Amino acid sequence: MKSSFLIQQNVDKEKIVDVIENFNQKGKLFDDRKRNKIKLFQFNEITINVKSFKIPNFINKIVYRFFRKSKARRSFEFANKLLENGIGTPQPFAFLENYDWIGLKDSYYVSEHLNCDLTYRELVEIPDYPNRDKILRQFTQFSYQLHQKGIEFKDHSPGNTLIKKTENGEYEFFLVDLNRMEFHDKMDFNLRMKNLCRLTPHKEMVAVMSNEYARISGESESLIFETLWKYTADFQYKYYRKKRLKKKFLFWK
Protein backbone atom coordinates (compact mmCIF):
# COMPACT_ATOMS: atom_id res chain seq x y z
CA MET A 1 0.00 0.00 0.00
CA LYS A 2 1.33 3.41 -0.99
CA SER A 3 0.99 6.58 1.07
CA SER A 4 1.16 10.32 0.47
CA PHE A 5 2.13 12.43 3.45
CA LEU A 6 2.77 16.12 4.00
CA ILE A 7 3.61 17.75 7.30
CA GLN A 8 4.41 21.26 8.48
CA GLN A 9 7.99 22.11 9.32
CA ASN A 10 9.04 21.69 12.97
CA VAL A 11 6.34 19.07 13.62
CA ASP A 12 7.41 15.62 14.86
CA LYS A 13 6.70 13.37 11.89
CA GLU A 14 7.16 10.09 13.76
CA LYS A 15 4.62 11.05 16.42
CA ILE A 16 2.07 12.17 13.83
CA VAL A 17 2.47 8.91 11.88
CA ASP A 18 2.13 6.90 15.11
CA VAL A 19 -1.09 8.73 15.98
CA ILE A 20 -2.61 8.03 12.56
CA GLU A 21 -1.51 4.39 12.51
CA ASN A 22 -3.14 3.87 15.92
CA PHE A 23 -6.22 5.96 15.15
CA ASN A 24 -8.69 3.09 15.70
CA GLN A 25 -7.07 1.83 18.91
CA LYS A 26 -6.21 5.08 20.71
CA GLY A 27 -7.43 8.63 21.17
CA LYS A 28 -10.60 10.17 22.57
CA LEU A 29 -13.63 10.14 20.30
CA PHE A 30 -14.82 13.69 19.59
CA ASP A 31 -17.24 13.24 16.70
CA ASP A 32 -18.49 10.06 15.04
CA ARG A 33 -20.70 10.73 12.05
CA LYS A 34 -21.65 8.48 9.16
CA ARG A 35 -19.21 10.20 6.85
CA ASN A 36 -16.21 11.02 9.03
CA LYS A 37 -14.77 10.36 12.48
CA ILE A 38 -12.77 12.77 14.65
CA LYS A 39 -10.53 11.80 17.57
CA LEU A 40 -8.41 13.85 19.96
CA PHE A 41 -4.85 12.98 20.95
CA GLN A 42 -2.34 14.54 23.32
CA PHE A 43 0.64 15.72 21.31
CA ASN A 44 3.47 17.17 23.38
CA GLU A 45 1.78 20.03 25.27
CA ILE A 46 -1.25 20.46 23.03
CA THR A 47 -4.31 18.49 21.92
CA ILE A 48 -4.50 17.58 18.26
CA ASN A 49 -7.62 16.88 16.23
CA VAL A 50 -7.38 13.97 13.77
CA LYS A 51 -10.15 13.67 11.19
CA SER A 52 -10.53 10.33 9.45
CA PHE A 53 -12.51 10.73 6.25
CA LYS A 54 -15.01 8.11 5.16
CA ILE A 55 -13.53 5.46 2.88
CA PRO A 56 -14.66 6.47 -0.63
CA ASN A 57 -16.76 4.27 -2.90
CA PHE A 58 -15.22 2.55 -5.91
CA ILE A 59 -15.62 5.48 -8.30
CA ASN A 60 -14.40 8.09 -5.83
CA LYS A 61 -11.37 5.96 -4.98
CA ILE A 62 -10.27 6.43 -8.59
CA VAL A 63 -11.36 10.10 -8.75
CA TYR A 64 -9.36 11.02 -5.62
CA ARG A 65 -6.33 9.12 -6.92
CA PHE A 66 -6.09 10.57 -10.41
CA PHE A 67 -8.47 13.50 -10.97
CA ARG A 68 -9.15 15.38 -7.76
CA LYS A 69 -7.33 16.12 -4.53
CA SER A 70 -8.58 14.21 -1.50
CA LYS A 71 -10.62 15.95 1.20
CA ALA A 72 -7.70 15.58 3.60
CA ARG A 73 -5.25 17.24 1.21
CA ARG A 74 -7.68 20.03 0.39
CA SER A 75 -8.35 20.65 4.09
CA PHE A 76 -4.62 20.98 4.75
CA GLU A 77 -3.94 23.23 1.77
CA PHE A 78 -6.99 25.43 2.34
CA ALA A 79 -6.14 25.85 6.04
CA ASN A 80 -2.71 27.16 5.11
CA LYS A 81 -4.22 29.46 2.50
CA LEU A 82 -6.72 30.84 5.04
CA LEU A 83 -3.93 31.58 7.51
CA GLU A 84 -1.93 33.30 4.76
CA ASN A 85 -4.98 35.54 4.23
CA GLY A 86 -5.34 36.32 7.93
CA ILE A 87 -8.46 34.17 8.36
CA GLY A 88 -8.82 32.12 11.54
CA THR A 89 -8.71 28.33 11.43
CA PRO A 90 -7.11 25.73 13.73
CA GLN A 91 -3.39 25.34 13.00
CA PRO A 92 -2.91 22.63 10.33
CA PHE A 93 -0.21 20.04 11.03
CA ALA A 94 -0.41 17.30 8.41
CA PHE A 95 -2.46 15.11 6.11
CA LEU A 96 -1.96 11.51 5.08
CA GLU A 97 -3.45 9.50 2.23
CA ASN A 98 -3.25 5.72 1.84
CA TYR A 99 -3.75 4.06 -1.55
CA ASP A 100 -4.49 0.50 -2.62
CA TRP A 101 -4.35 -0.91 -6.14
CA ILE A 102 -7.65 0.81 -7.08
CA GLY A 103 -7.07 4.27 -5.68
CA LEU A 104 -7.53 6.23 -2.46
CA LYS A 105 -8.15 3.89 0.51
CA ASP A 106 -8.34 6.24 3.50
CA SER A 107 -7.16 9.72 4.44
CA TYR A 108 -6.56 11.84 7.54
CA TYR A 109 -6.27 15.53 8.35
CA VAL A 110 -4.40 16.61 11.49
CA SER A 111 -4.77 20.02 13.12
CA GLU A 112 -4.60 21.65 16.51
CA HIS A 113 -7.76 21.16 18.56
CA LEU A 114 -9.38 24.47 19.38
CA ASN A 115 -11.56 24.80 22.47
CA CYS A 116 -14.26 27.30 21.54
CA ASP A 117 -16.94 29.07 23.55
CA LEU A 118 -19.68 28.50 20.99
CA THR A 119 -20.47 28.05 17.31
CA TYR A 120 -22.90 29.98 15.13
CA ARG A 121 -25.43 27.21 15.84
CA GLU A 122 -25.95 28.46 19.41
CA LEU A 123 -27.02 31.82 18.02
CA VAL A 124 -29.65 30.03 15.92
CA GLU A 125 -30.94 27.72 18.65
CA ILE A 126 -30.77 30.04 21.69
CA PRO A 127 -32.59 33.35 20.99
CA ASP A 128 -31.48 34.89 24.30
CA TYR A 129 -27.84 33.82 24.06
CA PRO A 130 -25.67 36.44 25.88
CA ASN A 131 -24.40 39.19 23.55
CA ARG A 132 -26.19 37.50 20.64
CA ASP A 133 -26.60 40.68 18.61
CA LYS A 134 -22.95 41.67 19.10
CA ILE A 135 -21.66 38.23 18.15
CA LEU A 136 -23.93 38.11 15.09
CA ARG A 137 -22.70 41.49 13.90
CA GLN A 138 -19.05 40.58 14.43
CA PHE A 139 -19.65 37.29 12.60
CA THR A 140 -21.10 39.31 9.71
CA GLN A 141 -17.95 41.45 9.69
CA PHE A 142 -15.88 38.25 9.58
CA SER A 143 -17.95 36.94 6.65
CA TYR A 144 -17.56 40.25 4.82
CA GLN A 145 -13.79 39.96 5.29
CA LEU A 146 -13.92 36.52 3.65
CA HIS A 147 -15.84 37.97 0.72
CA GLN A 148 -13.44 40.88 0.33
CA LYS A 149 -10.58 38.41 0.08
CA GLY A 150 -12.46 36.36 -2.52
CA ILE A 151 -12.87 33.32 -0.25
CA GLU A 152 -16.01 31.30 -0.96
CA PHE A 153 -16.48 28.92 1.97
CA LYS A 154 -18.99 26.51 0.50
CA ASP A 155 -19.77 24.87 3.86
CA HIS A 156 -20.58 28.20 5.52
CA SER A 157 -23.15 26.54 7.80
CA PRO A 158 -24.02 26.86 11.54
CA GLY A 159 -21.55 24.30 12.91
CA ASN A 160 -18.53 25.22 10.84
CA THR A 161 -17.51 28.48 12.51
CA LEU A 162 -15.96 28.20 15.97
CA ILE A 163 -16.28 31.33 18.12
CA LYS A 164 -14.01 32.36 21.00
CA LYS A 165 -14.52 35.28 23.35
CA THR A 166 -11.36 37.31 23.90
CA GLU A 167 -10.20 38.90 27.14
CA ASN A 168 -11.37 42.33 25.97
CA GLY A 169 -14.92 41.09 25.32
CA GLU A 170 -14.66 40.84 21.54
CA TYR A 171 -15.03 37.66 19.48
CA GLU A 172 -12.73 35.68 17.19
CA PHE A 173 -13.91 33.31 14.48
CA PHE A 174 -12.29 30.12 13.15
CA LEU A 175 -13.43 28.08 10.15
CA VAL A 176 -13.48 24.27 10.25
CA ASP A 177 -14.54 21.53 7.81
CA LEU A 178 -12.50 23.15 5.07
CA ASN A 179 -12.49 20.75 2.12
CA ARG A 180 -15.03 22.70 0.03
CA MET A 181 -13.70 26.15 -0.88
CA GLU A 182 -13.06 28.32 -3.89
CA PHE A 183 -10.80 31.34 -4.12
CA HIS A 184 -11.81 34.17 -6.45
CA ASP A 185 -10.28 37.43 -7.59
CA LYS A 186 -13.64 39.00 -6.77
CA MET A 187 -17.03 37.76 -5.56
CA ASP A 188 -20.08 39.41 -7.10
CA PHE A 189 -23.08 40.47 -5.02
CA ASN A 190 -25.26 37.41 -5.67
CA LEU A 191 -22.43 34.98 -4.93
CA ARG A 192 -21.75 36.76 -1.63
CA MET A 193 -25.40 36.65 -0.60
CA LYS A 194 -25.77 33.02 -1.64
CA ASN A 195 -22.72 32.21 0.46
CA LEU A 196 -24.61 33.30 3.59
CA CYS A 197 -27.92 31.53 2.91
CA ARG A 198 -27.24 28.30 4.83
CA LEU A 199 -26.66 29.88 8.22
CA THR A 200 -30.09 30.48 9.75
CA PRO A 201 -33.79 30.02 8.99
CA HIS A 202 -34.70 32.96 11.24
CA LYS A 203 -35.76 36.12 9.45
CA GLU A 204 -34.78 38.40 12.34
CA MET A 205 -31.20 37.07 12.23
CA VAL A 206 -31.07 37.67 8.48
CA ALA A 207 -32.29 41.22 9.15
CA VAL A 208 -29.48 41.88 11.67
CA MET A 209 -26.86 40.44 9.32
CA SER A 210 -28.24 42.49 6.42
CA ASN A 211 -28.09 45.66 8.51
CA GLU A 212 -24.48 45.03 9.52
CA TYR A 213 -23.39 43.93 6.04
CA ALA A 214 -24.88 47.12 4.60
CA ARG A 215 -23.19 49.26 7.23
CA ILE A 216 -19.69 47.97 6.47
CA SER A 217 -20.10 47.50 2.70
CA GLY A 218 -22.02 50.67 1.84
CA GLU A 219 -24.48 48.59 -0.20
CA SER A 220 -28.27 48.88 0.00
CA GLU A 221 -29.66 47.28 3.17
CA SER A 222 -33.02 46.58 1.57
CA LEU A 223 -31.37 44.90 -1.44
CA ILE A 224 -29.13 42.83 0.82
CA PHE A 225 -32.04 41.70 2.97
CA GLU A 226 -34.36 40.90 0.05
CA THR A 227 -31.66 38.94 -1.79
CA LEU A 228 -30.30 37.12 1.24
CA TRP A 229 -33.76 36.19 2.51
CA LYS A 230 -34.75 34.87 -0.94
CA TYR A 231 -31.65 32.64 -1.07
CA THR A 232 -32.24 31.58 2.54
CA ALA A 233 -35.88 30.66 1.91
CA ASP A 234 -34.90 28.75 -1.25
CA PHE A 235 -32.23 26.83 0.64
CA GLN A 236 -34.56 25.95 3.53
CA TYR A 237 -37.23 24.72 1.11
CA LYS A 238 -34.78 22.49 -0.77
CA TYR A 239 -33.19 21.26 2.47
CA TYR A 240 -36.47 20.12 4.05
CA ARG A 241 -37.80 18.79 0.76
CA LYS A 242 -34.69 16.61 0.51
CA LYS A 243 -35.22 15.38 4.08
CA ARG A 244 -38.85 14.51 3.33
CA LEU A 245 -37.89 12.58 0.20
CA LYS A 246 -35.17 10.68 2.07
CA LYS A 247 -37.63 9.76 4.80
CA LYS A 248 -40.16 8.60 2.21
CA PHE A 249 -37.92 6.59 -0.10
CA LEU A 250 -35.15 5.52 2.30
CA PHE A 251 -37.45 4.66 5.21
CA TRP A 252 -35.52 1.48 6.04
CA LYS A 253 -32.33 3.39 6.96
Provide the number of structural domains found in the chain: 2
- Regarding whether 237 and 124 lie in a shared domain, the answer is yes
pLDDT single digits (tens) 3-50: 676 667 677 888 888 899 899 999 999 987 777 999 999 987 899 999
Is 252 inside a domain boundary? Answer: no
Percent composition of the chain: helix, strand, coil (DSSP 3-state, to 5): 45, 25, 30
Per-residue model confidence (pLDDT) at position 214: 98
Is 249 inside a domain boundary? Answer: no
What's the pTM value of the predicted model, to 2 decimals? 0.91
Does residue 253 carry a pLDDT above 60?
A: no
**Are 192 and 155 in contact, with CB atoms under 8 Å apart?**
no
Per-residue model confidence (pLDDT) at position 250: 57
For residue 185, the Cα-to-chain-centroid distance in whole angstroms is: 21
pLDDT single digits (tens) 111-156: 999 999 999 999 999 999 999 999 999 999 999 999 999 999 999 9
- Regarding whether 208 and 90 lie in a shared domain, the answer is no
Per-residue model confidence (pLDDT) at position 244: 60
- Regarding whether 161 and 65 lie in a shared domain, the answer is no
Residues 6+ apart with CB under 8 A from 26: 19, 39, 41
- Regarding whether 178 and 146 lie in a shared domain, the answer is yes
**Are 75 and 94 in contact, with CB atoms under 8 Å apart?**
no
The CATH number of the domain holding residue 229 is 1.10.510
Residue 39: domain span: 2-112
- Regarding whether 84 and 144 lie in a shared domain, the answer is no
- Regarding whether 128 and 104 lie in a shared domain, the answer is no
Identity (one letter) of the amino acid at 17? V
- Regarding whether 95 and 9 lie in a shared domain, the answer is yes
- Regarding whether 210 and 126 lie in a shared domain, the answer is yes
End-to-end CA distance of the chain: 33
- Regarding whether 88 and 133 lie in a shared domain, the answer is no
171 beta partners: 165
Q: How many CB atoms lie under 10 A from the CB of residue 37?
A: 19
- Regarding whether 139 and 31 lie in a shared domain, the answer is no
37 beta partners: 32, 52
